[in-house]
Every structure is written in structure tokens, then in C-alpha cells.
Amino acid sequence: MEKKKLVFAADHAGFRLKDFLADHFRSEGFDVTDLGTDSEQSCDYPVFAEKLADYILDGKAELGILCCGTGIGMSMAANKVPGIRAAACSDTFSAKYTRLHNDANVLCLGARVVGEGLAAELAEIFVSTGFEGGKHARRVGLISDIEKRKGKKK
């Protein structure tokens, strides 16, 4: 597996899963950055989603993994940042095809939805799968076009 630069972040519900996954990828020789949170003390997931999204858009990492209770809140927040394509996945097919067809750059996992073993499998699939391009590149381009036309809405 190609050793990409990875960035991780989580809220309090995803803290333990984030630490587990970051350690897993470090042990595999990946360049891993952990943007927090650093405890199970209650915090706001949108803060960490935006921090991770900005880190990727600044070119400091190629792919990101966000963890919260379900993965859904993190994906909703991260997808508000133009240029981020975040997907909440809990099965291997979705983890593969969100990279292959959608060129997702952020995987969102729910610590209350998937266990550590499945989360590691999903993350490995996500990190090791490339973008297929072709007709899918045109479709991803259409997503970017929507972002440009609509801009940030309040």
C-alpha cells in the first residue's frame, strides 16, 4: 500500500477510535497527523471537521479520517468546506467506491456504528483505493461546479 500522508480528527465520541486508527496507520509506516480531540470530554464535532478539511486543502495531507458517534455529523460539517468530499461509510463496498468513483478525500466513521476491526478494514480500503477517473472525473467536476455556483450558504 502506498504510504500517503494521513490526518485524523475526532470529537469526544470518536476519540478512542481515532487514536486506535492513527496508531494502526503509524505502525504501518504512514505519516500520520492527529488534530485532536485529545479526550472524551464533550466537544463540538464541526470544529474538528473544519480543522481537518483545512489541513487537507492546505496540502498537508492527502486523505483524512474523521470519527464521531455515527460519522454523519462529521461528514455533514466537512462537506460544507468547498473541495472536501467526505463520506460516512460503514461497509467495505462504500469505502472502496467512494474513492474509486467519487474521489472522496475524507472518510467519516462512527465509533458507535463500527468496531475497531471493521473501522481499520474500512480505513485501509479507503486509503489504498485510487480514483478511477474517466466518466467519474466529469461527475466529480460537476460537484465542484455546484460548489462554485452555490458558494457558501449561511
**Catalytic positions:** 68, 101
In contact, 86 and 126? CB cutoff 8 Å = no
What cell numbers appear for 86 in the block? Answer: 467526505
Alpha helices in 58-114 (DSSP H): 72-78, 92-100
**CA atoms of 104 and 97, how far apart (whole Å):** 9
Contacts of 144 (CB under 8 A, 6+ apart): 82, 83
* CA end-to-end distance (rounded Å), the chain: 40
**CA atoms of 8 and 35, how far apart (whole Å):** 6
